């Protein structure tokens, strides 16, 4: 499998960035990302936790490169974000991606609270949703594509285990394109918490919030959008109104890739029980449960995870392109790739 995956990487190599970079404060921008931002081009932020903690090597590297390729093929510039040797980097070279992919879980999972520590210690950090949002906002990137956001954990009313992704959405004006909340979480309480934070949650092409691996969660949303153009206008309005909050645009996993909800749910319940028995809690719980669910479903959940990541990248890139057009011309043209 490894040799096959590695051979496919050769088809994705390209767009390598030169070593010279620009800085905004302590944040290092690749030349490609810096040029795109300065000229008002469409830019899509991408997290690095999925590379280091989401799947094994070389599948993690292959997936990261494929997602960047999807962003480029749809007219936007990818800006994968990570902290390397204590330097927050926005836009990574192929060598950077390979380094992160090979180090894997040796790279610290980095939320907003961890950024200063990782920088001060000159360590490597794989950014989660909250850290990626913050660093994207620092350099002026408005659109961020990920798999799923964190949320209120099951029994969160007792443990108070609530992801910093939710509070970040409440104070950082970046639009997060995701497949909803991870299905191991308490989705109704997650949506209630986002409402308390004043975050607009919009579902893409539906009025129901997706549950990561499956298209439906049983929870309705108050806002829905049906096209990249509508997504761009929503982001533009949020910024112009100076609301100060992020946006969550939830995109259902493609129908043909959606894993059976009942099989996934059964595996989730078993994995959660094992986590409790092993006393695995906090930030270690989600990676453990997702790994066990993948094992219990024979790889079906990982395949679905990759499929939704790619679909989110497709939708997010088109929204970013429409947003760049709207900001430059005051209207959205009809030059989206494939449209």
**Which residues are catalytically annotated?**
47, 182
Chain CA centroid to CA 262, Å:
25
Distance CA 208, CA 224 (A): 8
Quickly count: other Cβ atoms within 10 Å of residue 72's Cβ: 17
Backbone angles phi, psi at 280, to 5 degrees: -95, 115
The vertex-105 CA angle with 26 and 94, nearest 5°, equals: 60
How many Cα atoms are found within 13 Å in the side-chain-facing hemisphere of 215? 10
Which pair of tokens denotes residue 278? 């092993």
Report the interhelical angle of 59-73 vs 300-329 (nearest 10°).
30
Dihedral sign from CA coordinates of 323, 324, 330, 333: negative
Asked if 275 and 209 count as a contact pair (C-beta separation under 8 A), the reply is no
Asked if 153 and 139 count as a contact pair (C-beta separation under 8 A), the reply is no
Provide the 3-class DSSP secondary structure of residue 236.
helix
Radius of gyration in angstroms for the set of CA atoms belonging to the chain, rounded to a whole number: 19
């Amino acid at each position: 499998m490894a040799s096959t995956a590695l051979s496919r990487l050769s088809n994705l190599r390209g767009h390598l960035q030169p070593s010279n970079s620009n800085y905004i404060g302590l944040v290092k921008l690749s030349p490609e990302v810096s040029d795109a931002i300065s000229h008002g081009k469409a830019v899509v932020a991408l997290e690095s936790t999925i590379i280091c903690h989401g799947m094994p090597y070389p599948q993690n590297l292959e997936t990261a490169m494929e997602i960047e390729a999807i962003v480029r093929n749809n007219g936007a510039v990818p800006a994968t974000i990570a902290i390397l040797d204590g330097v927050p980097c926005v836009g990574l070279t192929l060598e950077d991606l390979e380094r992160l992919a090979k180090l894997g879980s040796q790279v610290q999972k980095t939320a907003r609270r961890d950024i200063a520590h990782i920088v001060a210690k000159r360590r490597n950090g794989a950014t989660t949703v909250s850290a990626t949002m913050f660093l994207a906002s620092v350099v002026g990137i408005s659109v961020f594509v990920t798999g799923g956001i964190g949320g209120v954990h099951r029994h969160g009313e007792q443990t108070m285990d609530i992801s910093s992704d939710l509070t970040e959405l409440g104070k950082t004006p970046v639009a997060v394109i995701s497949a909803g909340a991870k299905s191991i979480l308490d989705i109704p309480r997650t949506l209630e918490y986002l409402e308390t934070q004043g975050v607009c949650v919009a579902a893409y092409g539906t009025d129901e919030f997706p549950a990561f691996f499956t298209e439906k969660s049983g929870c309705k949303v108050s806002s829905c959008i049906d096209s990249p153009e509508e997504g761009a206008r929503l982001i533009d309005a949020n910024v112009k109104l100076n609301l100060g909050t992020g946006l969550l645009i939830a995109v259902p996993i493609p129908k043909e890739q959606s894993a059976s909800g009942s099989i996934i749910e059964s595996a989730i319940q078993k994995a959660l029980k094992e986590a409790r028995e092993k006393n695995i809690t906090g930030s270690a719980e989600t990676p453990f449960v997702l790994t066990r669910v993948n094992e219990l479903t024979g790889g079906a959940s990982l395949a679905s995870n990759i499929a939704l990541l790619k679909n989110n990248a497709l939708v997010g890139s088109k929204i970013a392109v429409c947003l760049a057009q709207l900001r430059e011309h005051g209207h959205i043209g009809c030059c989206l790739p494939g449209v």
